[in-house]
Chain A
Amino acid sequence: MTTATQPRGRDRAADHPVAGRSERLRRATRWWPTLMLLVLFTLPYSALPLPGLLDGPIGSPGNLQLLALCLLFGGLATGYDLLLGRTGLLSFGHALYFAAGTYVTNTVMLEAGLPFAASALLGLLAGVVLSALLGAVSLRVSGIGFSMVTLAFAQAASILVQRDPGGVTGGEEGRAAPADRLPASLVGIEHTANLYWMALAYLVVALVVVQWAVRSPTGRVWEGIKENERRVEVLGLRPYGYKLVAFVLAGTLAALGGIVYLPLTGGATPQTTTSDFTLSLLVMVVLGGSGTRWGPMVGGILYTWADHRLGDLAGSGAVAGLPSVVRVPLSQPLFLLGALFVAVIYLLPGGVARLPARLRTARTARASRLAARREEAVPS
Chain B
Amino acid sequence: MATVVLLTFTGLGLGALYFLIASGLSLIFGLMDVLNFAHGALLSVGAYGTWWAASGHLPGAGTEGAGFALAVVFGTAVGTIAAVLLEVAVIRPLYTRPREQILATVGVGLAVPALLSAIWGADARPFPGPKALSGTFALLGAEVPLNRPVLIGVALVVLAALKLFLGRTRHGLVVRAGVEDRAMVTALGIDVRRAFTLVFAIGGAAAALGGALGGLYFGSVDPGQGTSLLIFAFVVVVTGGMGSLTGAAVASVAVGLVQQFANYYTTAGLGDVAVVVLLAALLLVRPRGLTGRLA
Given contacts A137-B284, A160-B273, A279-B106, contact A148 B114 (CB under 8 A): no
Q: Is the CB of A148 within 8 A of B106?
A: no
Does A237 interact with chain B (Cβ within 8 Å)?
Answer: no
B107 touches A159 (CB 8 A): no
A275 contacts B227, C-beta separation under 8 Å: yes
Residue interface mask B227-240, A partner, CB < 8 A = 1: 10001001101100
Instruction: Kindly state whether residue B192 has any CB partner on chain A within 8 Å.
Output: no
Residue of A nearest to B237 (CB): A148
**CB of B188 within 8 Å of the partner chain:** no
Count of interface residues, chain A, beta-carbon cutoff 8 Å: 43
Asked if A189 lies at the interface with its beta carbon under 8 angstroms from chain B, I say no
- A153-B276, A286-B103 known; A332-B118 Cβ under 8 A: yes
Interface segment, one of A179-187, A339-347, A352-360: A339-347
Interface of B is mostly: helix
Residues of chain B in range 74-97 having any CB-CB distance to chain A below 8 Å: 90, 93-94, 97
**Least Cβ–Cβ distance between A292 and chain B, in angstroms:** 15
Q: Complex: how many Å from CA A141 to CA B284? A: 9
Contact of B279 among A147, A149, A159, A163 (CB under 8 A): A149
Q: Which of chain A's residues has its CB closest to B280's CB?
A: A137
**Is A95 located at the chain interface by the 8 A CB criterion?**
no
- For residue A100, give the distance in angstroms from its CB to the closest CB of chain B: 15
Contacts of B110 in A (CB 8 A): 276, 279, 283, 334-335, 337-338, 341
Minimal beta-carbon separation of B44 from chain A (angstroms)? 13
Give complex CA distance A342, B90 in Å. Answer: 8
Q: Quick one: closest A residue to B268, CB to CB?
A: A163
Q: Is B250 an interface residue (CB 8 A)?
A: no
Q: Flag whether B295 is at the interface (Cβ < 8 A).
A: yes
Q: Which residues of the other chain, A, contact B231 by a CB distance below 8 angstroms?
A: 151-152, 155, 275
**Which B residues are CB-close (under 8 A) to A271?**
none
List residues of chain B with CB within 8 A of the CB of A143.
295
Q: Is the CB of B283 within 8 A of A149?
A: yes
| Bound: A286/B118 CA distance, A | 25
Residues of A within 8 A of B242 (CB): 144-145
Closest residue of B by beta carbon distance from A147: B35
**Chain B residues with CB below 8 A from A221, complex form:** none
Asked whether, in the complex, the Cβ of A160 is within 8 Å of the Cβ of B269, the reply is yes
Find A334's partner among B94, B114, B119, B238 (CB 8 Å cutoff). Answer: B114
We find that the number of chain B residues with CB closer than 8 angstroms to chain A is 46
Chain B nearest CB from A323 CB (Å) reads 14
**A365 part of interface (Cβ distance < 8 Å):** no
0 or 1 for each of B220-257: is its CB under 8 Å from A? (1 = yes): 00000001000100110110001000000000000000
Q: Identify the interface centre among A147, A159, A283, A349: most chain B CB within 10 Å of its CB.
A: A159
B143 on the interface (CB 8 Å rule)?
Answer: no
A331 surroundings in chain B (CB, below 8 A)? 118
Asked whether, in the complex, the Cβ of B238 is within 8 Å of the Cβ of A149, the reply is: yes
Q: Which residues of B contact A241 (CB under 8 A)?
A: none
Contact A148 B238, beta carbon cutoff 8 Å: yes
**Is A329 close to B, CB under 8 A?**
yes
B48 at the interface (CB under 8 A from A): no
B166 at interface by CB-CB < 8 Å: no
**B276 neighbours in A (Cβ, 8 Å):** 152-153, 155-156
Is the C-beta of A379 less than 8 angstroms from some C-beta in chain B?
no
What are 28 A-B pairs at a CB distance below 8 A?
A90-B99, A140-B283, A141-B295, A144-B35, A144-B295, A145-B242, A145-B283, A145-B295, A149-B280, A149-B283, A152-B276, A162-B269, A163-B268, A165-B267, A165-B269, A279-B106, A283-B107, A328-B119, A329-B118, A332-B114, A332-B118, A335-B111, A338-B109, A342-B104, A342-B108, A345-B94, A345-B100, A345-B103
A interface residue numbers (CB < 8 A to B): 90, 137-138, 140-145, 147-149, 151-153, 155-156, 159-160, 162-163, 165, 275-276, 279, 282-283, 286, 328-329, 331-335, 337-339, 341-342, 345-346, 349
Which 9 residue pairs spanning A and B have beta carbons closest together? Answer: A338-B111, A163-B269, A338-B110, A145-B295, A334-B114, A341-B107, A335-B114, A156-B276, A342-B107
